[in-house]
Amino acid sequence: MKVLVAYDGSPSADQAIEDLLRTGIAVAEALVISVAEHWLPEVGENGDSSVSGMRSTQGLAEASTLAKHASERIGALLPAWKVDSKAVSGSPALEILTEAERFKPDLVVVGSQGRTALGRLILGSISQKVLSEASCSVRIGRTYDPSPGKSVIVIAFDGSKGSYAAVNAVAGRTWDVPCEIHLVTACEELVPTAVGRFIPPIVEWVKEEAKTERDHIRKLADKAFKTLEGAGCHVSLEVKNGNPKQVVIEEAERLGADCVFIGANSSAVKLGRFLIGSTSAAVAARADCPVEVVRR
């Protein structure tokens, strides 16, 4: 497996490195990239452009030190990994995406928030751009308290190819501690109109539709259960009413999840909708734990 780690020295980037121990990736070829943020050339009072050159060189040296530090840390945590480092100068998100196209990783790891002077929202602008535009899976690292003695994983499941890709990603990892998997599905609740709720046939129809949807998702989950149980994981299914963006985040918090796995592509089925830039991005932005957005 090939892993690209974007590192900028921020607390969330440090946590993303510590979290590599809990990704279930036993052996990997990893590349750490640090970017010296450089936008426009700077000119001195006398029109001397060498000011920009000196600052660019200094920034690149600092980025090189950061990348090397991070690669050494990963090597110490995961001796079976082959780790290299690289420093570049430019726009961070663009450089990370460019390196991803060159290195062709299976997974890009980034922190949820950067440390630059531009400031960051809940999910940093760099992390957001990488998450949206990378052609491979992306893992968003966060500072959180891991579950002691086990790994608790939430998989956003809606029966789509994307959610099965998330299932396969989890099943394909090597877990050193007992792995507790919770498939979480959000169903849109049918509610009778103000008049309809007083008409028994309509009320019964709504109940029957809700039961049919839940039975359908349980059938769709059978394959996922077999795949995950075959990998030695303990699996459960949580079917909740509500908006997928809220349900997945709330269930992850309630269950004390160490990570949320969610497919990047949309679902064509009625049960829940996981759209990159919508639900996947919302979960990645707001979850309290790391989130891995899986692309097939």
pLDDT at 18 (0 to 100)? 93
pTM of structure = 0.83
Model confidence at 198, pLDDT cuts 50, 70, 90, reads very low
pLDDT at 119 (0 to 100)? 40
Render pLDDT for 82-110 as a digit per residue (tens, 0 to 9). Answer: 999 999 999 999 999 999 999 999 999 99
Q: Which of 212, 214, 233 is nearest to 224 (CA)?
A: 233
Q: Taking 60 as the threshold, does the pLDDT of residue 161 lie above it?
A: yes
pLDDT at 177 (0 to 100)? 87
Domains and CATH numbers, the chain: 2-141 (3.40.50.620), 151-294 (3.40.50.620)
Average pLDDT of the chain to the nearest whole number: 83
Of 117 and 139, the structure prediction assigns the larger pLDDT to 139
pLDDT at 50 (0 to 100)? 56
Render pLDDT for 220-262 as a digit per residue (tens, 0 to 9). Answer: 899 999 999 999 999 999 988 888 899 999 999 999 999 999 9
Q: Taking 80 as the threshold, does the pLDDT of residue 58 lie above it?
A: yes
Least confident span in 37-41, 43-47, 109-113, 261-265: 43-47
Model confidence at 199, pLDDT cuts 50, 70, 90, reads low
Model confidence at 40, pLDDT cuts 50, 70, 90, reads low
Of 38 and 125, the structure prediction assigns the larger pLDDT to 125
Model confidence at 118, pLDDT cuts 50, 70, 90, reads very low
Average pLDDT for 269-280: 52
Q: Taking 70 as the threshold, does the pLDDT of residue 206 lie above it?
A: no
| DSSP per-residue letters across the chain | -EEEEE--S-HHHHHHHHHGGGS---S-EEEEEEEEE--S----TTS-THHHHHHHHHHHHHHHHHHHHHHHHHHHH-TTSEEEEEEEEE-HHHHHHHHHHHH--SEEEEESS--STT---SS-HHHHHHHHH-SSEEEEE----PPTTSEEEEEE--SSHHHHHHHHHHHTS--SS-EEEEEEEEEPPP---TTGGGSHHHHHHHHHHHHHHHHHHHHHHHHHHHHHHHTT-EEEEEEEES-HHHHHHHHHHHHT-SEEEEESSPP-SSS----TTTHHHHHHHH-SS-EEEE--
Q: Taking 70 as the threshold, does the pLDDT of residue 277 lie above it?
A: no
pLDDT at 274 (0 to 100)? 40
pLDDT at 247 (0 to 100)? 93
Render pLDDT for 130-151 as a digit per residue (tens, 0 to 9). Answer: 998 999 999 999 888 888 889 9
Q: Taking 60 as the threshold, does the pLDDT of residue 121 lie above it?
A: no
Altogether, the residues listed in the chain come to a count of 296
Model confidence at 189, pLDDT cuts 50, 70, 90, reads low
